[in-house]
Structure 1
Amino acid sequence: MAVFERARREGFLLTMHCDIDQEGSIEHIRQALEDIGVDRIDHGTDIVEDERLVELAKAKGIGFTCCPVSNSFVTEQMKSSEIRTLLDRGLAVTVNSDDPPTSAPMRPTTICHSPPTRTSISTVSSNSPRTRSAPPG
């Protein structure tokens, strides 16, 4: 924990990579939120399985950088319904590509099972500054 405390003291924002559909995924998200006190979670869509953690992440303003295309390499789906649930619940979600050169291009239906609305596209775009990896200024 000392390394995270030092990083925080030196002005770094903390991000934790929380894989999806892996053994202990929910516990890893809990550790990131409660024990380490991260500012952002990469992936982490499994959080929808724990209502208390969803509410905690929302209250803390935690950003989620979700990568649907790479999700499809790790699990049988892109986690688009989980991403949409997080968006609908008001969490700061962005849609990204883990590895742009190797990931397929994202299509409008990536973040939901039907075409996105102007509102959902606007929300995802406006969440980007909230999920930044550097302090403002």
Structure 2
Amino acid sequence: MDVAMPRCYHGGVTKKQCEELLGKKGKDGAFLLRDSETLKGKLCLCVYKQNTVYTYRVQTSAGRFSLLAAESVPKAYFNTLQEMISHYKKKNQGLATHLRFTVLSATPPVIQPNLLQDQESDVEHVYENSYATYVTVLP
């Protein structure tokens, strides 16, 4: 299933580039979405507060989105990324600060075809080879 990406999606910007973009905005609550550098096909929500960028991993489960946050924060699930962003624009939702200022991408958002792969199924693909073929091991 394809996912329409919001205008705050910056694709494959690095953590350093993200910090520069948010620092340039320089306002508490500035935010953007970017691709995870460590988990291919996953997203991070990055939020600026007092010269620090807080990064939250976006998780998917059964085609719904949630944020990996502190254990004390109740887990909330959303049907779309835009719905998730709207939720976290409200105060006191468990982030370092609520989302206030969208850092828009210079290029139009693209569609992410593999974004809805469930977190739980990631482990199954760790040993998959690059050609997506398997070999039979003989005794």
Flag the structure with larger Rg.
Answer: 2
Q: Where is the helix percentage greater, Structure 1 or Structure 2?
A: 1
- Larger strand percent: 2
TM-score (norm 1): 0.28
Structure-2-length-normalised TM-score = 0.28
* Larger relative contact order (Cα-Cα within 8 Å, sequence gap ≥ 6): 2
